[in-house]
Amino acid sequence: MQGEVEDKLLHPIGDSNAFQRSYEAFHQTDSIDCLAIVYKNNPQLFKLKALSEKFPSTRHHETIWVEGGQERQDSVCAGLQAFPKEVAHVLVHDCARPFIRSKTIAQMVMEIIQNRAVTVARPLKDTLRLRTTPTTNPIQPTITRTIDRSNHWLMETPQGAPKKWLIEGFKKARKDGVLITDDMAAIELCGRPIGMIDIGYPNPKITTPDDFSYAEFLSQS
User: What is the pLDDT, as a whole number, of residue 56?
Assistant: 74
User: What is the pLDDT, as a whole number, of residue 182?
Assistant: 92
Residues whose CB is less than 8 angstroms from the CB of residue 200 and which lie 6 or more positions away in sequence, other chains included: none
Section 157-182 average pLDDT: 96
Domain extents in the chain: 12-220
Assigned architecture for domain 12-220: Alpha-Beta Complex (3.90)
- Confidence bin at 4 (pLDDT 50/70/90): confident
DSSP E strand stretches across the chain: 12-13, 16-17, 34-39, 62-67, 89-92, 118-123, 128-131, 144-147, 153-162, 195-197
Q: What is the pLDDT of residues 110-152, one digit of tens each?
A: 999 999 999 999 999 999 999 988 888 889 899 999 999 999 9
